[in-house]
Amino acid sequence: MTQTGDGELARSAAAGDGDAFAELVRRHAPRVRALCAATLGGPGEAEDAAQEAFLKAHRALPRFSGEASFSTWLHRIAVNHCLDVLRAAGRRRSDSLEALLEADSEALGRALSEPSPAKSLEDRDAVERLLSRLPPEQRLALTLRELEGLTYEEIAAAMSCSLDSVKARIRRARAELAGMARHFPGADIV
């Protein structure tokens, strides 16, 4: 039995097939939630944002042209929604570097120096707090590249910006994280 492609499922869902949309959600929910969590910083906010992104995608399905892959199209919706949430909240850098050093220096040092899929919850939380200090566009670009594994071209499409802009945002984000990492014991970001 062959698996139905995302494009075909999207066309069926746009025509009113609820099962097709449920399958798209099942396939893409983990990555959309991870993207929202890395962007917004908290699992509760991430879950709400991911649900809202899927609602927006469902309403926009009739306009899905198939020029980009469904996952790129969906990431663009999620990215835009997360940026809207950040703008509405008017929040930037909620924790000072000094507060992070005081509260989480060991966890951040471990998380930044030991790449492991089985990171402790404390380490992941510390990394999310560190990422939350980056400007939203840099955080999104870095998250899409490093956590989601998207290509630079896919990121440019998802963020509606040029390839050069994506590269610059990722370079700046890495440089800022490397600068912050100097303050944490055992951290090694290149």
**Is 140 strand, coil or helix?**
helix
C-alpha torsion 153→150→165→88, nearest 10: 130
Domain positions in the chain: 1-91, 95-190
**How far apart (Å, rounded) are the C-alpha atoms in residues 25 and 151?**
22
The letter for the amino acid at 156 is: A
pLDDT at 81: 92
Q: Specify the pTM.
A: 0.63
Of the candidates 110, 149, 154, 104, the residue with the CA atom closest to the CA atom of residue 129? 104
DSSP count for the chain of H helices, then E strands: 9, 0
* 109 or 153, greater pLDDT: 153
**Which tokens sit at 36?**
């929202």
- 32 with 81: CB under 8 angstroms? no
Considering the four listed CATH numbers 1.10.1060.10, 3.30.750.24, 1.10.1740.10, 3.40.50.300, the one that applies to the domain covering 1-91 is: 1.10.1740.10
Q: What is the mean pLDDT of residues 150-175?
A: 90
Tell me, which fold does domain 95-190 have in CATH?
A: Arc Repressor Mutant, subunit A (1.10.10)
Give the pLDDT band (50/70/90) at residue 123. Answer: low
